[in-house]
Structure 1
Amino acid sequence: MRNTGQRLRTMTAVLTAAVVGLSGCTVVGGDTPDEAGLGRHRKAAPKVVWDAGPASIAAVGDSITRGFNTCLVLSDCPEVSWATGSSAEVNSLAVRLLGSARVATHSWNYAESGTMMTDLPAQMERAAARGPELVTVMTGANDACRSSTSAMTPVDDFRADFQNALRTLRKALPKTQVYVASIPNLMRLWSEGRTNPLGKQVWKLGICPSMLGDADALDAAANERRATVQQRVEDYNAVLAEVCGADDRCRYDGGAVYEYRFGTAQLSHWDWFHPSTDGQARLAEIAYRKVTGNKP
Structure 2
Amino acid sequence: MVRHRSIRTALGAVVATLALVAASIAGASGAQAAAPPPPSIAALGDSITQATDACGYKDCPAYSWSTGTSSSVKSHATRLKAAGATTLAVYNNAVTGSKAANLLAQAQKAVAQQAQYVTVEIGANDACTTTVAGMTPTATFSASVLAALQTINQGTPTAKIFVASIPNLKQMWSLSKSKAGARLVWAAGRVCQSMLAKPTSTAAADNARRDQVQARVVEFNTALAAACAAVSNCTFDGNAVANLAFTSSHISVLDYFHPSIAGQAKLAEVTWPLTPYGAP
Unaligned stretches of 5+ in structure 2?
1-30
Q: Which residue of 2 aligns with 1:118?
A: 101
Q: Alpha-carbon deviations, 1:53-73, whole Å to 9, x = none?
A: 323210010001001111011
Structure-2 separation of matches of 1:127 and 1:171:
12
- Residues 57, 132 of structure 1: 8 Å contact kept: yes
Q: Which residue of 2 aligns with 1:86?
A: 69
Q: Label 1:216 to 1:166 Cα distance change in 2 as closer, same or farther (>3 A).
A: same
Q: Label 1:229 to 1:145 Cα distance change in 2 as closer, same or farther (>3 A).
A: same
Q: Which of 134, 140, 146 is matched with 2:129 structurally?
A: 146
Q: Which residue of 2 aligns with 1:3?
A: none
- Residues 184, 257 of structure 1: 8 Å contact kept: yes
Structure-2 separation of matches of 1:195 and 1:221:
19
Q: Which of 173, 178, 181 is matched with 1:195 structurally?
A: 178
Between 101-110 and 253-262, the greater mean CA deviation after superposition: 101-110
**Alpha-carbon offset, residue 51 of structure 1:** 3.0
Q: Which residue of 2 aligns with 1:159?
A: 142
- Residues 48, 249 of structure 1: 8 Å contact kept: no
- Residues 81, 87 of structure 2: 8 Å contact kept: no
Between 215-224 and 95-104, the greater mean CA deviation after superposition: 95-104
**Alpha-carbon offset, residue 195 of structure 1:** 2.8
Structure 1 segments (4+ residues) deviating >2 Å: 47-55, 99-105, 292-295
Q: Which residue of 2 aligns with 1:29?
A: none
Alignment of 1:286 with 2:270, yes or no, is yes
Structure-1 separation of matches of 2:138 and 2:104:
17
- Residues 58, 107 of structure 1: 8 Å contact kept: yes
Unaligned stretches of 5+ in structure 1?
1-46
1:224-243 to structure 2, matched below 5 A, reads 224-243=208-227
Q: Label 1:241 to 1:273 Cα distance change in 2 as closer, same or farther (>3 A).
A: same
Q: Which residue of 2 aligns with 1:169?
A: 152
Q: Label 1:92 to 1:220 Cα distance change in 2 as closer, same or farther (>3 A).
A: same
Alignment of 1:223 with 2:207, yes or no, is yes
Amino acid at match of 1:290: L
Structure with the bigger RCO (C-alpha within 8 Å, sep 6+) is 2
- Residues 52, 293 of structure 1: 8 Å contact kept: no
Q: Which of 57, 76, 88 is matched with 2:59 structurally?
A: 76
Q: Alpha-carbon deviations, 1:22-47, whole Å to 9, x = none?
A: xxxxxxxxxxxxxxxxxxxxxxxxx9
**Alpha-carbon offset, residue 105 of structure 1:** 5.2
Between 257-266 and 93-102, the greater mean CA deviation after superposition: 93-102
Q: Which residue of 2 aligns with 1:30?
A: none
Alignment of 1:60 with 2:35, yes or no, is no
